[in-house]
Amino acid sequence: GLVSPTQSSAATKEAVKESIIAQTPLRRIARPEDIAGPVLFLASPWSGFMTGQTLYVDGGLVMG
């Protein structure tokens, strides 16, 4: 998904951003802090018993 602010989001046309927002149940583009928590979890001992999982951090886009 799209994360803002990044170089990628800066280069993305507004119409595309609006389309992504409209399709995302949380009705916004991800922020860096939205990604940081799951990344820290996966890098921590708390995820030590996880194997072969897909962790979607997309504001519900996949389920929408």
Is the per-residue pLDDT at 1 higher than 80? Answer: no
pLDDT, position 64: 61
DSSP strands (E only) in the chain: none
29 membership: H or E segment, kind and range: none
Residue 57 in contact with residue 38, Cβ under 8 Å?
Answer: yes
Q: pLDDT tens digits, residue range 12-51?
A: 999 999 999 999 999 999 999 999 999 999 999 999 999 9
User: pTM for this structure?
Assistant: 0.78
